[in-house]
Amino acid sequence: MGRTDNSNLAAKVQLRAAYLRTYHSSGGIVFDACQGDGKVWGRLRKKFAVNYQGADITRKGHALPVDSRRMLSVKHWKWDIVDIDTYGEPWAHWEALCKTADHDCTVFLTWGHIAIMGGQVSRYPYRAMSIPQECPQALVASLAPWSLPYLLHFALRQDQQIEDIRVCRPNPRVDYVGLRLLVSV
């Protein structure tokens, strides 16, 4: 967490702006789980009336210096919009969010396909796609372009569903995802 890759800042901002116009035209409460330098929401806050709180373990700017995954693990949070851009895999944060979400919210995920760039494959693709641990990492990494639906659905509870999902893939190593997480009461 903490590092940012804003090489395609315009795409990140445009994706978020589209959801803000559709679902949060009268405002919302944003939790930026990995604030970094705050460039994305700095631009968005100039155009949209949202209450904003950022967190980042790197202690940058006005971010809360905490592990945002722990904040998402606390029940009864009130954010309408959650942005998870971990500079890698967002799945631990996504899983924490799904365990505690008790109301509809807009979620943004930035997924860097680290293993394709030579890193280790995390346990999440194995779990999400029910792949045996003995399966070679290179094979699992090669499934990245097709694994997003599995990774999004593995953590959902029975009372949750995903609606209005939009994916922007500015290059083969990263996906910018926007979605509405609906929680039935």
Domain ranges within the chain, ordered by starting residue: 9-118+159-183
Residue 17 has pLDDT above 70, yes or no: yes
**Stretch 104-124: mean pLDDT:** 79
> Where does the pLDDT of residue 121 fall: very low under 50, low under 70, confident under 90, or very high at 90 and above?
confident
Q: Looking at per-residue confidence, does 161 or 122 come out higher? A: 161
At residue 4, the pLDDT reads: 45
Q: Which CATH class is domain 9-118+159-183?
A: alpha beta
Task: State pLDDT tens for residues 41-81.
Answer: 999 999 999 999 988 887 666 767 678 999 999 999 999 99
Percent of the chain with pLDDT over 70: 90
Helix (H, G, I), strand (E, B) or coil at 144: helix
Distance between first and last Cα of the chain: 33
Q: Kind and range of the H or E element at 94?
A: helix 91-100
Calpha distance 63→2 (Å, rounded):
10
Question: Maximum distance among all alpha carbons in the chain?
Answer: 50
